[in-house]
Each structure stands twice: as structure tokens, then as C-alpha cells.
Amino acid sequence: MRIRAIVIRILRQFFHDKRTLMMMLVAPMLILFMMSLVFNGDTYVPKLGAVNVPAPLVQKLQELNAEVTSYTAEEAQAELEAVHLDAVITMNGAAAQLALEGSDPSKNKAVLFLMQKALQSAIPANTSLQAPVISYLHGSADMAAFDNFGPVLIGFFVFFFVFLLSGVSFLRERTGGTLERLLATPLRRWEIVVGYILGFGIFTTLQATLIAWFATSVLGLMMVGSFWYVLLITVLLALAALSLGTLISAFANNEFQMIQFIPLIIVPQVFFSGLFSLDTMSVYLRWIGVVMPLKYGADALRNIMIRGAGWDRIWMDVAVLAAFTFIFMILNILALRKHRKI
């Protein structure tokens, strides 16, 4: 009977806590659904630019499921630098030149295999054809997969730990009565929010700096661009995660409920951050990444660390991350209304 009483008490707790019950039932299905969208998409189609390439070779590449577009040499180079193409094929007589964008090793291998197969079948056996000369706009033939994933992982770990720690810390401030006492003072809500963001921001900046330094200096991740730009992006990501974590904590009553938000807030960030190729996902689903702060941080970190991009390539990501932080802070100010005693 005593065991039965314990079981009944636990069941009643779950049924009374509708949020926990829904998270247990809905969150796993949501994650599995998102995984199916990522891993069951279409096969990736390499995007190639062609400069003076014979029609039989272009036709064969298209038959092998490549997207081939003809350009002038200047147009092709511009498209390659803008990362709109995976590679550019140029024919000078019997010599083929293959210029790879180079920032993604998996795409490099796919293009090289496709090119080799096309050359073998498109060119007659009695034709004298030299082996293609391969060059890389970014990276090299020795570039490891970790160099490609590393910038995304830096952004993810900064975002995840700051979100979790700031949310739990702010929740303790609220449940411990500290926030309520502050609200009873003449302090305005925006002053409290800015104070908390700046206070926590000092430690999150230190954390972001250490993660960026460790990844580049100790682990030896590829670093072509400026470390200061990497630091800027990681700090902005940390501030966005900080303001989002404090906002979400307003809807949690304890640490366990705060952790329950991870499948809804963090997991989608991973799927749409660029860690997995979104080119194979349905176009109408890619818009979800537009509202993911981690996507912009990961894009900027890849541009800096792998492609050596400067301010002209990352300013948009910087502006979007700053806008996310500002919007979350405004929502934090509005959320504090529910805690002020009238």
C-alpha cells in the first residue's frame, strides 16, 4: 500500500505539471521530426561553373546530377568567391583546370569524384587529355572535416552553456526573492535588465574568449582571418544566448523546467546552424533558420576562420546578432511585469 501511495503521488505530480507531461511526449517527436527533415532530404547537387568547357563534358556532368552553369572567367571567379559555386571548371585546350571553393571537405570530395567520372566517360579514349589541375580558393587538400565543423561547434558551445547557465542563474534570482526585492525599489525594469545583462555579460565574455582561444591556439583549428573578429562574433553570440536565457527563465518555475526548454530552443539551433547541410532540405523549411541566432554566428565564424573574411562579409551577421540581443532584452523588460507586485 505504501508503494502504491508513492506511485500515485508521482503520477499526480506529472498530471498536475502539464508542461513536464507535454515536454516528455512532444519533445522527442519534435526532435525526430527535425532529424527526418535533415537526414531524409534530397541528395546534394554540386553547383559547378563552366568556362570554355566542351558541350559533351557539360552534358555528362549534368547527367551525373550536377548543376552546371556557363560563365565568363571573371563571372565564375566572382560566383566562386561569393560561395555560390562549389567549383569552377576551365578548359584551356586539352588542359582542364578545376578551382574548388574548398571550405567544405565533403563537397570537395563530391566534386572531385564527379569530375573524374565525367572526364573518363565524356572524352573519347583516343583523345589526349591531361589530368585536371586542381586549386583551392579556401583551404587545401589536407583540410580536415573538423576545420569545417569547428567554427560551428565554437558557436554552439558558447550559445548552449551561456543560455543554460544564465537561465538557471536568473531563475534562482527570481525564486530566491532577490528579483522581487529589486522590483520593489525605485529601479526601473530596463535598468534591472541591463544591469543583469552587463553583470552576467562580463563572465560570458570571458567564457567566449577562452573557448575561441582554446579552439584556435590549442586545438589548432584553421584560422585564416582575424582572431578579433572571431572574438566579436562569439561575444555577440554569448550576449544573444544570455538575453534569451533570462527571457526563457521567466516561464520556468524551477531548474528542471528550465532544462526542459533545451529541446525547443537549443536542438533546432543545431539543425539549422550549418552543422548539417541545409541544401538537401526542402526550400520551404529553410526559412526556419532565419530566426536562429546560432545560424548567423556560425556563418560568420566560418567566413572568418576558413575564408578569411573581413568586416565587409560579416557586418550583416553582426547586425542580426545585435538585433536579436536587443529584441530579447525588450521582451525581458516586458516579462518583468508579471513579477512586479501591484
- Confidence band, pLDDT 50/70/90 cuts, at residue 194: confident
Number of domains in the chain: 2
Domain limits for position 194: 146-339
Residues 184 and 121 in one domain: no
Residues 250 and 302 in one domain: yes
- Confidence band, pLDDT 50/70/90 cuts, at residue 324: very high
- The mean pLDDT value for 151-169 works out to 87
Here the cell at position 284 is: 520551404
Which residues on neighbouring strands pair with residue 48, listed in sequence order? 68, 87
Say if residue 252's pLDDT is above 90.
no
244 within some domain: yes
- The mean pLDDT value for 75-82 works out to 87
- The mean pLDDT value for 17-26 works out to 67
164 within some domain: yes
Residue with cell 534570482: 173
Closest CA to 335 of 181, 174, 227, 217: 174
User: Which CATH number fits the domain that encloses residue 71?
Assistant: 3.40.190.10
Dihedral sign (CA 256, 257, 260, 261): negative
Residues 257 and 108 in one domain: no
Residues 246 and 194 in one domain: yes
Instruction: Give me the pLDDT at residue 341, please.
Output: 45
Residues 156 and 289 in one domain: yes
Say if residue 291's pLDDT is above 60.
yes
Residues 51 and 184 in one domain: no
Instruction: Give me the pLDDT at residue 233, please.
Output: 93
Mean pLDDT computed over every residue of the chain: 80
Residues 207 and 278 in one domain: yes
183 within some domain: yes
Q: Which of 136, 157, 176 is the last residue of a domain?
A: 136
Say if residue 157's pLDDT is above 80.
yes
pTM, 2 dp:
0.81
Residues 160 and 236 in one domain: yes
